[in-house]
Amino acid sequence: MSVFPKDFLWGGAVAANQLEGAYNEDGKGLSIQDVMPQGIRGSRTEVPTEDNMKLIGIDFYHRYKEDIKLFAEMGFKVFRTSIAWSRIFPNGDETEPNEKGLQFYDDLFDECHKYGIEPLVTLSHYETPLHLSREYDGWVNRKMIGFYERYVRTVFERYKGKVRYWLTFNEINSILHAPFLSGGIYTPAEQLSEQDLYQAIHHEFVASALATKIGHEIMPEAKIGCMVLSMPTYPLTPSPDDVIQAMEDDHKNLCFADMHVRGEYPGYMKRYLREKGIEIHFEPGDEELLKNNTVDFLSFSYYMSTCATADKEKQAQGTGNLLGGVPNPTLKASEWGWQIDPKGLRYVLNQFYDRYQIPLFIVENGLGAVDELITDANGNKTVEDDYRIDYLRDHLLQVEEAIKDGVEIMGYTTWGCIDIVSASTAELKKRYGFIYVDRNDDGSGTLERYKKKSFDWYKNVIATNGESLHQ
Shortest spacing between CB 6 and ligand BGP, in angstroms: 29
| Catalytic residue chosen out of the listed positions 364, 400, 401, 427 | 364
DSSP string, 206-257: HHHHHHHHHHHHH-TT-EEEEEEEE--EEESSS-HHHHHHHHHHHHHHHHHH
User: In whole angstroms, what is the distance from residue 173 CA to residue 390 CA?
Assistant: 29
275 among known catalytic residues: no
According to CB under 6 A, which one of 133, 141, 294, 422 is a site residue for ligand BGP?
Answer: 422
The residue (of 223 and 430) whose beta carbon lies closer to ligand BGP is 430
Shortest spacing between CB 421 and ligand BGP, in angstroms: 8
Q: Is 171 in the site for ligand BGP (CB under 6 A)?
A: yes
User: In whole angstroms, what is the distance from residue 362 CA to residue 348 CA?
Assistant: 11
User: In whole angstroms, what is the distance from residue 4 CA to residue 31 CA?
Assistant: 39
46 among known catalytic residues: no
Amino acid identity at 458: Y
The residue (of 171 and 204) whose beta carbon lies closer to ligand BGP is 171
Size of the site for ligand BGP (CB under 6 A): 14
User: Using CB under 6 A as the criterion, what x/- string covers residues 344-373 for binding ligand BGP?
Assistant: --------------------x---x-----
DSSP string, 288-354: HHHHH---SEEEEEE---EEE-S-HHHHHT--SSTT-SB--TT--B-TTSPBP-HHHHHHHHHHHHH
261: nearest Cα among 310, 215, 228 = 228
The residue (of 430 and 459) whose beta carbon lies closer to ligand BGP is 430
| Catalytic residue chosen out of the listed positions 111, 118, 171, 204 | 171
The residue (of 201 and 426) whose beta carbon lies closer to ligand BGP is 426
Sites for ligand BGP among residues 124-153 (CB under 6 A)? 126
Sign of CA pseudo-dihedral 2, 392, 321, 301: negative
User: Using CB under 6 A as the criterion, what x/- string covers residues 291-320 for binding ligand BGP?
Assistant: ----------x-------------------
Residue 362: phi, psi to the nearest 5? -85, 105
Contact residues for ligand BGP, defined by CB under 6 A:
15, 126, 170-171, 229, 301, 364, 368, 415, 422-425, 430
Which sequence positions are flagged as catalytic? 171, 364
